[in-house]
């Protein structure tokens, strides 16, 4: 027992020896941290001590910060900043004071390392939707006639970019002015951008893909060493200026294209080349460069398909890889060839799409499935896709879905009205696609023949498509056309009467070699733009983005057909 007691006493003495240095190190550490906080974050450190020890009365530290707006800042911006900030005070103490040098915060248009955005305003160059102009270079700025409806920074932009600007009183006046002449260019902010205008690239930079495609006003703030960084947020939040940073996280991009029929002569080319991407390889990356990519595939996949001629179409199952590599997310099934070799093959094809992670609309496994509206939510915008096979409904065929048969969605006026009403309740944007009657009027040899660039007069294609806008659709598209058809603004929407071929074998006429891809842009639930992109299939069936010459010709033909 004695040995145990002695041992215990010895252990207690050892623990005391250890405990004393540990407490000393702990106290020294606290003292060191306090000294460091005092020098690094003096204001916050003193505030914390005041809050802890001054229990009878809370004291708030409200520092005054000096601001300098250097000579690069336009006077109108200086005036706004001064008026917005000079009245900020607490208990008679100013939050900001304006000085000519040695400021806590210096605001400049020249950005240096470590500077924060204080103010951003992008003026986007636009023409009318019908404009044939696609791009302007900075060297061409002086040759254009420029217009704005917001004159707040008119003088600054004129001096910065070497242009002269005329002011208009409304957005409708701006649209009319741009419609008068393609040389008239409007400058609009993001809040005024909508589908009636056409963004013009600047030095080949398209603003919604590259912010350098705009006339920019960016001002930056630099803090003096030791100044609390939180004051930048206070500064920005209290400057009431129509600016704001474009949140690209809210911008959604949807590519929509025309006819896909990987069959007949195209299938022969692919099989002989041994290259699945024979036709699509040059354009696949462009198609995939979107949040959603849509195609209208009119031909079902069938095991053992070897159809290289005729008017009954099928595709080999391995051709699905072409759609995958083109980034396809959505397959429209309004076409009238999906049941050419029986509805079992269209059913299997739908199952293949689903297994590949693709969605579909405008057709389905049966009548009920075919009539469903497809909803897609992308970056804060919900889009409804609705599709009908108008042609086969009018003339009757087994291309349509039945109670126990897969196929295309049939059309009726009542269905159109009910579907659009439902879609508007559940989505921000409503897109309606029609498989209408195809225009088939081509010359005996390869030449431009203008008839099929126009909407059909009988049956009344314009009347049918406009009805969907009247009922509330935002965008209406004809996916039946093997040759592009014109487009037009109508009431509160836009109509594209036909997009032409994407992947098919019709290389006989220039009209069927031409095509369109529509790139729709939506921002925070609003439809702001459609970029109309001409494409072109060469005589070897390879599809590419159209050259400038090919694109200009197509857009002129569509304008003349309007």
The whole-angstrom distance between residue 197's C-alpha and the CA centroid of its chain comes to: 15
Residue 422 in this model has a pLDDT that exceeds 50: yes
- DSSP readout, 328-366? --EEE---S-TTTT-HHHHHHHHHHHHHTT-EEESEESS
pLDDT in tens, 82-94: 888 888 888 889 9
| Residues 37, 175 share a domain | no
In a domain, 412, yes or no: yes
Of 206-220, 405-419, 460-474, least confident by mean pLDDT is 206-220
Quick one: what percent of the chain has pLDDT higher than 90?
73
Poorest-pLDDT segment among 191-195, 444-448, 481-485, 522-526: 444-448
Q: Mean pLDDT over all residues of the chain?
A: 91
- In this structure, is residue 431 part of a structural domain? yes
Q: Which helix (H) or strand (E) holds 559?
A: helix 548-560
| CB count in 10 Å sphere of residue 275 | 12
Residues 6+ positions from 124 with CB-CB distance below 8 Å: 187, 188, 189, 190, 193, 199, 207, 213, 214, 215
Q: Quick check: 380 and 250 in contact, CB under 8 A?
A: yes
Does a structural domain hold residue 512? Answer: yes
pLDDT band at 58 (very low <50, low <70, confident <90, very high): low
Residue 174 clears pLDDT 60, i.e. is over it: yes
Condensed to tens digits (0 to 9), the pLDDT of residues 132-170 reads: 999 999 999 999 999 999 888 898 899 999 999 999 999
14 and 127 fall within a common domain: no
Contact 489, 198 (CB under 8 A): no
Split at pLDDT 50, 70, 90, the class of 2 is: very low
Note whether 106 and 74 are within 8 A (CB). no
197/333 same-domain check:
no
Residue 60 lies in a domain: no
Based on the domain organization, do 166 and 24 belong to the same domain?
A: no
Phi-psi region of 178 (alpha: psi -120 to 50; beta: other; left: phi over 0): alpha
When mean pLDDT is compared across 60-64, 202-206, 428-432, 550-554, the lowest value belongs to: 60-64
Give yes or no: residues 26 and 132 share one domain: no
Domain count, the chain: 3
* 367 and 458 part of one domain: yes
Instruction: Say if residue 473's pLDDT is above 90.
Output: yes
Answer yes or no: is 59 within a domain.
no
Checking if the pLDDT of 194 tops 50, the result is yes
**Domain match, 256 and 206 both:** no
- Whether residues 200 and 315 share a domain: the answer is no
Whether residue 289 sits in one domain with residue 222: no
For tokens 């529509």, the residue is 518
In a domain, 472, yes or no: yes
The reported pLDDT for the residue numbered 1 is 43
Q: What is the pTM of this model?
A: 0.86
- In the prediction, which pLDDT does 246 show? 81
Domain that holds residue 356: 250-560
pLDDT of residue 229: 86
The residue from 216, 246, 276 where one domain ends is 246
Q: Is the pLDDT of residue 254 over 60?
A: yes
Picking from 553, 554, 528, 543, the residue whose alpha carbon sits closest to that of residue 208 is 528
Average pLDDT in the 477-502 region?
98
Q: Which CATH number fits the domain that encloses residue 499? A: 3.60.21.10
Q: Are residues 136 and 167 in the same domain?
A: yes
- Least confident residue range of 58-62, 66-70, 236-240, 309-313: 58-62
Same domain, 234 and 257: no
Domain finish residue from 246, 281, 301: 246
Least confident interval from 48-52, 96-100, 155-159: 48-52
Within a domain: residue 58?
A: no
First vs last C-alpha separation in the chain = 111
Of 197, 212, 246, the domain-final residue: 246
Note whether 265 and 215 are same-domain residues: no
Judge whether 355 lies within some domain: yes
């Amino acid at each position: 027992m004695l040995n145990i007691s002695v041992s215990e006493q010895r252990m207690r003495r050892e623990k005391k020896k250890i405990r004393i240095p540990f407490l000393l190190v702990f106290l020294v550490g606290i003292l060191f941290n306090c000294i460091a906080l005092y020098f690094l974050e003096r204001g916050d450190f003193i505030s914390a001590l005041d809050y802890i020890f001054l229990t009878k009365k809370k004291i708030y530290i409200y520092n005054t910060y000096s601001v300098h707006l250097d000579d690069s800042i336009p006077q109108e911006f200086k005036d706004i900043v001064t008026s917005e900030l000079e009245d900020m005070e607490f208990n008679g103490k100013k939050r900001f004071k304006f000085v000519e040098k040695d400021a806590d915060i210096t605001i400049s248009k020249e950005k240096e390392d470590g500077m924060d955005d204080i103010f951003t305003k992008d003026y986007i160059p636009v023409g009318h939707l019908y404009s044939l102009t696609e791009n302007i270079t900075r060297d061409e700025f002086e040759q254009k006639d420029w217009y704005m409806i917001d004159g707040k920074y008119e003088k600054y932009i004129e001096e910065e970019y070497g242009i002269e600007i005329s002011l208009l009183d409304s957005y409708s006046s701006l649209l009319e002015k741009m419609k008068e002449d393609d040389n008239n260019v409007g400058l609009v902010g993001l809040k005024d951008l909508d589908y009636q205008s056409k963004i013009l690239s600047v030095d080949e930079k398209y603003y919604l893909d590259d912010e350098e495609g705009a006339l920019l006003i960016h001002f930056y703030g630099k803090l003096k060493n030791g100044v609390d960084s939180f004051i930048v947020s206070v500064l920005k939040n209290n400057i009431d200026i129509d600016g704001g940073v474009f949140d690209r996280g809210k911008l959604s991009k949807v590519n929509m294209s025309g006819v896909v029929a990987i069959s007949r002569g195209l299938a022969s080319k692919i099989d002989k080349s041994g290259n699945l991407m024979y036709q699509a390889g040059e354009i696949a990356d462009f198609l995939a460069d979107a949040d959603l990519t849509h195609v209208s595939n009119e031909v079902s996949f069938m095991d053992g398909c070897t159809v290289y001629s005729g008017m009954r179409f099928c595709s080999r199952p391995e051709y699905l890889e072409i759609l995958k590599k083109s980034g396809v997310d959505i397959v429209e099934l309004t076409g009238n060839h999906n049941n050419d070799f029986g509805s079992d093959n269209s059913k299997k094809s739908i199952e293949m799409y689903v297994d590949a992670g693709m969605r579909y609309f405008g057709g389905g496994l049966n009548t009920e499935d075919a009539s469903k509206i497809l909803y897609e939510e992308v970056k804060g915008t919900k889009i409804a896709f609705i599709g009908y096979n108008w042609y086969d409904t009018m003339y009757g065929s087994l291309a349509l879905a039945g109670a126990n048969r897969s196929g295309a969605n049939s059309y009726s006026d009542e269905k159109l009205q009910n579907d659009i009403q439902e879609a508007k309740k559940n989505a921000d944007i409503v897109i309606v696609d029609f498989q209408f009657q195809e225009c088939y009027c081509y010359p005996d040899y390869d030449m431009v023949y203008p008839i099929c660039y126009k909407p059909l007069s009988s049956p009344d294609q314009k009347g049918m498509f406009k009805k969907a806008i009247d009922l509330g659709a935002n965008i209406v598209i004809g996916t039946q056309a093997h040759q592009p058809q014109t487009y037009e603004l109508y009431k509160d929407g836009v109509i594209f009467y036909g997009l032409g071929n994407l992947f098919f074998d019709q290389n006989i006429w220039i009209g069927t070699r031409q095509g369109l891809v529509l790139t729709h842009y939506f921002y925070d639930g609003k439809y702001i733009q459609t970029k109309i992109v001409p494409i072109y299939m060469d005589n070897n069936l390879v599809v590419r983005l159209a050259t400038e010459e090919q694109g200009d010709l197509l857009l002129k033909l569509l304008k003349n057909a309007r």
